[in-house]
Amino acid sequence: MDYTVVYFHYGLRSGNKPSLRWLREAYNEFDRKYKKNLKALYVVHPTNFIRILWNIFKPFISHKFGKKVTYVNYLAELRDHLNYEQLIVPPDVIRHDERLRATQKSGPLPPVKSPPPRPPLPTQQFGVSLQYLCEKNKGAIIPLVISQTVAYLKEKGLKTEGIFRRSARVQLIKDIQKLYNLGKPVSFEQYGDVHVAAVILKTFLRELSEPLLTFAVYHHVLEIVRVESSLRVTTCKQIVESLPEHNFVVLKYLVSFLHMVSQESISNKMSASNLACVFGVNLLWPPQGSVSLSALTPINIFTEILVEHCDTVFASRCPPGQVLP
């Protein structure tokens, strides 16, 4: 799976600094796929030491890997590259960043804050609620982004190996989001890459103002690990049936599609378990902060049950006007 690493360099001392030999051996120990799948390595608050170290390592590191490294002098610059709000930044690093920025101007600078939210456009598709989309999209139950990406992926991507695991160019994803938010037509055919539609679908879910599974069920989902294995499908069914009708319908539409994807796992290598690892954190997160490592296991278990047993989980409740993928 593609991944990104953010390295906070502040805090490195002589007592915790690894030797050059150890670093070289550690780099060689990683399998090629880990180096290939690294999307970007951001080095935050680099010092002369890290720059010298990088020059020493250049002869041993591939040219392609070297191009993935980006120096970031201040935390604010990370916002141009990734979703800063999803990062857990140590308090010491934040204070160090404030001190660095204070030296650039006279007097201390206030902490970096997100700009105040702008009112959504009438055509906004990302970063709003399901209710807002339903009202603005003439009562359409399934959001436009979900229906279009699912339709395209059903036709082009069901057998694509690693579907939902690969990334796409950040700027391209932002451009497509802008088209959607401005109410302009989007045709995934022109990009010739099913992974673009897959990333757009995940991004849409992740940027909902409230997760599709809602905040209300968060702690109930975390308790799934305490339920006996034989009773977990029934428990998941009860949790899903407690959702508001709109959320239930959209979730069933999405999960029915993911079940179709899992049925092609021989070709696409995306079993229900693999899909759960990708979609779990995009379907549910806590009201405050990001998903903790301890919460990942129950969320993934819950999502895997949804995908693998979707016919049972969504069987009895059939709201009027329901749409299937």
End-to-end CA distance of the chain: 26
User: Which residues lie across from 69 on neighbouring strands?
Assistant: 41
Contacts of 86 by beta carbon, 8 Å cutoff, 6+ apart: 290
Cβ atoms < 10 Å from Cβ of 185: 7
170 burial (CB, 10 Å; 0-12 / 13-18 / 19+) is middle
Could you tell me the CA-to-CA distances from 161 to 66, 131, 308 in Å, in that order?
27, 34, 19
Domain covering 3-102 in this structure, CATH number = 3.40.525.10
What are the backbone angles phi and psi of residue 315, rounded to the nearest 5°?
-65, -50
Amino acid at 310: C
| Cα(52)–Cα(187) distance, integer angstroms | 46
What pLDDT, on a 0 to 100 scale, did the predictor assign at position 107?
Answer: 47
Pair 53, 20: CB distance under 8 Å:
yes
Backbone φ and ψ of 143, nearest 5°? -55, 145
For CATH 3.40.525.10, the residue range(s) in the chain are 3-102
DSSP at 6? E
300 burial (CB, 10 Å; 0-12 / 13-18 / 19+) is buried
> What's the CA gap between 250 and 308, in Å, rounded?
17
Dihedral sign for Cα atoms in the order 283, 288, 291, 294: negative
Q: Evaluate whether 307 touches 256 at the Cβ level (below 8 Å).
A: no
> Coil, strand or helix: which one is 20?
helix
- Please give the chain's pLDDT, 325 residues, in tens: 678 889 998 888 778 888 878 877 887 888 877 877 888 888 899 888 777 877 777 777 777 777 888 888 888 888 877 777 777 888 888 888 888 888 775 444 455 455 555 678 889 999 999 999 988 887 789 999 999 999 999 999 999 999 998 888 888 999 999 999 999 999 999 998 999 999 999 999 999 999 999 999 999 999 999 999 999 999 999 999 999 999 999 999 999 999 999 999 999 999 999 999 999 999 999 988 778 888 999 999 999 999 999 999 998 665 444 444 5
Parts of the chain belonging to CATH 1.10.555.10: 130-313
Q: State whether residue 276 is helix, strand or coil.
A: helix
Going by the DSSP 8-state scheme, the letter that residue 70 receives in this structure is E
Q: What would you measure as the largest C-alpha separation in the chain, in angstroms? A: 66
The CATH code for residues 130-313 is 1.10.555.10
